[in-house]
C-alpha cells in the first residue's frame, strides 16, 4: 500500500483513560487490561506475527524485558492474529510477555485505541505507556515498516516515577 494513501489514525493521546478490554492470549486464557491496575503497562500494537520488522520489534522488547521490569511494567503485544499463530510465533521468538489476539470481532481493540488500519485489516505499529492508575501517559504511532525501538518506552516509564 502506498504510504500516501494512508489516512492519519485517531490514536489515543496522553491524558486519556486507557479503555479496558479483554482478549485471548492462549486458546483458553484471557487477559483484561484492568488486571494490571497498580502496575505500568506497555501496550504494543503491531501488524502481524512473522513479518520481519515485527519480529525484530517483539524480539527487541523480549530482550529489553529486564529494563522494563525495573519499572515493574507489564508488556502486552496486540495484533489481529489468532491465538495459535501467537503461540507459535511467541515460542519461535522466545518472547517472554503475552501476545493478545485482537481477532474476534477483528481489530475491535485496535479500533478502540485508534490504531486500526482499515485498508489492510491490521493494527498499526503503535505504542502506549499506561500508568498504574490506567491513564495513557505516552502514545506513539510508528511509520510503516519502522521498528520504533525501546527508547521511547523507557523514557516514558522514567517519567512515571
Partner 1 sequence: MPVGDRDHSEGTSDAPLVLVEYGDYQCPYCGAAYPILKRVQKELGSSLRFVFRNFPITNSHPQAEWAAETAEAAAAQGKFWEMHDFLYENQRFMGDEAYFAKQETKLKLDATRIAREAAKGAYSSRIEEDYMSGIRSGVNGTPTFFINGVRYDGYPGFEPMVAALKAAQKAPSRKK
Three-class SS of 8-43: CCCCCCCCCECCCCEEEEECCEEEEHHHHCCCCEEE
Question: Cβ(124)–Cβ(44) under 8 Å?
Answer: no
In angstroms, the CA 100 to CA 33 distance is 11
Residue 9: active-site member: no
Beta-bridged to residue 47, according to DSSP, are none
Strands 99-101 and 74-79: parallel
Q: How far apart are CB 77 and partner 1 at their closest, in Å?
A: 14
Q: Is 112 among the residues that bind partner 1 (CB under 8 A)?
A: no
Q: Is 62 among the residues that bind partner 1 (CB under 8 A)?
A: yes
Q: Is 48 among the residues that bind partner 1 (CB under 8 A)?
A: no
Nearer to partner 1, 57 or 117 (CB): 57
Contact stretch for partner 1 (CB under 8 A) within 23-31, 60-68, 103-111, 129-137: 60-68
**Active-site annotation holder among 33, 42, 43, 54:** 54
Q: Which of 31, 9, 42 is nearest to 110 (CA)?
A: 9
Q: Is 55 among the residues that bind partner 1 (CB under 8 A)?
A: yes
Q: Is 49 among the residues that bind partner 1 (CB under 8 A)?
A: no
- Show which residues are catalytic: 54
* Contacting positions for partner 1 (CB under 8 A): 55-57, 59-60, 62-64, 67, 93-95, 147-151, 154
Amino acid at each position: 500500500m502506498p504510504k500516501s494513501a494512508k489516512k492519519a489514525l485517531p490514536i489515543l493521546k496522553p491524558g486519556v483513560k486507557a479503555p479496558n478490554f479483554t482478549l485471548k492470549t492462549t486458546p483458553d486464557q484471557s487477559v483484561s487490561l484492568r488486571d494490571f491496575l497498580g502496575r505500568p503497562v506497555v501496550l504494543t500494537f503491531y501488524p502481524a506475527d512473522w513479518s520481519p520488522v515485527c519480529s525484530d520489534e517483539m524480539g527487541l522488547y523480549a530482550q529489553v524485558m529486564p529494563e522494563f521490569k525495573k519499572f515493574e511494567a507489564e508488556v502486552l503485544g496486540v495484533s489481529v492474529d489468532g491465538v495459535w499463530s501467537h503461540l507459535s510465533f511467541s515460542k519461535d521468538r522466545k518472547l517472554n510477555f503475552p501476545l493478545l489476539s485482537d481477532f474476534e470481532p477483528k481489530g475491535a481493540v485496535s479500533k478502540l485505541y485508534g490504531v486500526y488500519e482499515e485498508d489492510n485489516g491490521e493494527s498499526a505499529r503503535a505504542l502506549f505507556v499506561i500508568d498504574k492508575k490506567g491513564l495513557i501517559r505516552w502514545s506513539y504511532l510508528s511509520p510503516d515498516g519502522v521498528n520504533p525501538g525501546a527508547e521511547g518506552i523507557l523514557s516514558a516509564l522514567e517519567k512515571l516515577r
